[in-house]
Structure 1
Amino acid sequence: MKAVLVHIPCLPWECIARDDAAQFVPSLLAMIEGGSAGPLPPVGPDPLMDGVILTGRRPADNGLLTRQAPRPDGFGTDLASAMLLKTPTVTDYMDAAGIRCASVNLRATNFGALPNGVVAGDAFFEIRARTFDDWGIPPGALAPLDMAGELADLRVHPEDLQAAQLGPLMAREAQGDTATQLRTMAKALSESTGAHSVATHLVEHGAYDVCMVRYPMFAQLGGQFAEPATMPTGKGAAWLLIELIDKFVARLKFLAGEDAVFMVTGGLEGKPFWIAHGAGIPADQLWPQGASLYDVAPSLLALFGLKDGAMPGSARCGRQQLVQASAPTAASAGPAVIPDGFPCAPAAPSVAQQEILERQRAAAAEAAARAAP
């Protein structure tokens, strides 16, 4: 493994940068002290950071210009308007250069494909089924689809969570609508934990050069839980999640190895942050004035000697001699596209997807029959 990027939307920079937060985020703090880090300026009105990180382009150009809104049922948040990426991602460019990438739970990557790598889109992890047995693989959520046998059972469903896992989180929070809080927390925790299981599996067992993974749990808590920035350090359910995220990062860093360049992005849309640690990155430094989230994508490309002159940002690390990155060819661009550039989504699961779902159901039924008295 040569590079790992972890994206944690809605994790406030001021929380992990607090003087008394060291015991809660030792892994993140070690990377801050041993690398370059700091808060960054906003990237524009109503953006999703995911698009800027993935493409290096402005929200209006990358297609992810939107905002989040609370769900009417109080069950977390949904996108008020969802758009799809209109430009190639950094993983597309690296794949075209023969660099094997694993893309896990990143926004708007459904129906994407990497001929040399794997894409598990956010729909692959999203909880939309009441039970694990009914939880299939949505069309376009995984590519290549033959990875389903290896990855599908690594996902986590709320029914997999036990009271001992949710109890400490709920005990830290002021009592509210307990049923809604439990549902919201179970969904948020399941989706991020499932993404972590898949990411760690690919880092440990797959021959990939780059892994990018998104942990959206903080963005999914909605108004049901106190914001960590408003709470004393270590207090509230969100602070237990901050500790958990730090452990996720520590595990990925251990599996990736000491030679891997590690990047962490996150924060609020109006105040993102970026942490970078590894070879060629200055230690214990704040990003200089002028640095922005637009620099993440060109910096990732520069680690492999690549660049895209159309990106407005600058490479803050990587090789000095850069080669213009080639855009993915039509043959390797993944799904067919319609004239406006949006991927074509099939209306129903493919035959292969339906067969996988049926095998999952049969295996679950067989296991239940064996367990019956």
Structure 2
Amino acid sequence: EISAFASAEALDAPLPAPVAEIGMIHFTGNIIPHQWYQHITLGSGKPDLPAITILAEIVYRYRPRQTLDKRGKPVPCKHFDGDMFQCTAAYFEAKFGLTKDQTRKALKRLEDAGYIRREYRDIVQQGILRNCVMFIEPVPRMIQAITHPVVATAATSPRAVPPAPAGDPPAPAGDPPSPVGDPPSPVGDLFKGIKITTEIKTTTPNPSITSECPAEPESAGGSGHQDEGSNAEDHPAPDEREPAPAERRPTLVYPVKLTQREREDIVAQVHPLPTEIAQQILDVIQARIQGGASIRTNPAAVLRGIVRKYHADPDSFDPSSGFHIADQRRQRAEAEARLRRAAEVQRIESAKRAVAPPLCAPRQRLEGHRRFVETAMRTLRGG
């Protein structure tokens, strides 16, 4: 930081070459104010680095950037489409090298502290219905409070200076809008007019998805790093949004012969994906394993490459190599269903036969008496 008081000699001295050269570089991207390290902390009092990093990214997405209109006049615009920034936990994991658990807990701590607000919506993206998509926005009042505490306190104090008369321009505050050329939001285009809803959507079942009972996949950290906030939270925080039993995704069928480490890595990678796409990617991996294709690293690394390409261009993903895996799974499910129905019919028939014997003994005795009488009559007649 530059000292508020500098000597005349220091002001007259030329800048060092590195300082002058760095001053010529135009920097863009996230900004982390120093005050955040004192306000966003863990239970131990240490800075909550995952939460600080994620909050800086969210605030950056909401900082207006400038572009030029047809007449060359600067016009402020936003970094994302729609009314809120759409993002997944996997985006923060990939960009900042965080684990799934670190990202989930950091978002929960930011939301509980009031720095961000999240919504979950059902949207149609590239012709596919996606349920419970996360949208995030910062809370400007809280960001102001931790970035400029003195200004925020003066604004809420009853003895604060009265506002300026109407018509005076507001005093500039914060950083200037980002320059032209900053990258847009990492998410794809959204359909206009999306609405918040809590209705449960029902879609046509796909052969890639099993009909087993719904269950959530086991939680797993993709990179295996220790959580930086483990000292503050001994118990894992609840998920961002605990789904109701009717909303839970069907069970995914994972490739066989995976190690525990590979399975945990794969679970973490496919969990943010739509169920249909996730199962198709898993079927492609299973087809490669069954086909004897050489996998130089491990199935989790191959899947990571497929998921990366899917995020870059969803239309480039070709699931056809795994269709026979889905067809085999469907045939096995149908055969198991037929066996269950046959076993149920056999059980019902056995129960009926178990109830019938008490009525059979009297009938046998009556039949024996009838035959005895008929034999005796024939004997008496001389037959």
Q: Same fold (TM over 0.5)?
A: no
Structure of higher CA gyration radius: 2
* TM-score range for the pair, normalised by the shorter chain length: under 0.3
**More strand, by proportion:** 1
Relative to the length of structure 1, the TM-score reads 0.22
Relative to the length of structure 2, the TM-score reads 0.21
**More helix, by proportion:** 2
Greater RCO between the two (CA within 8 Å, min separation 6)? Answer: 1
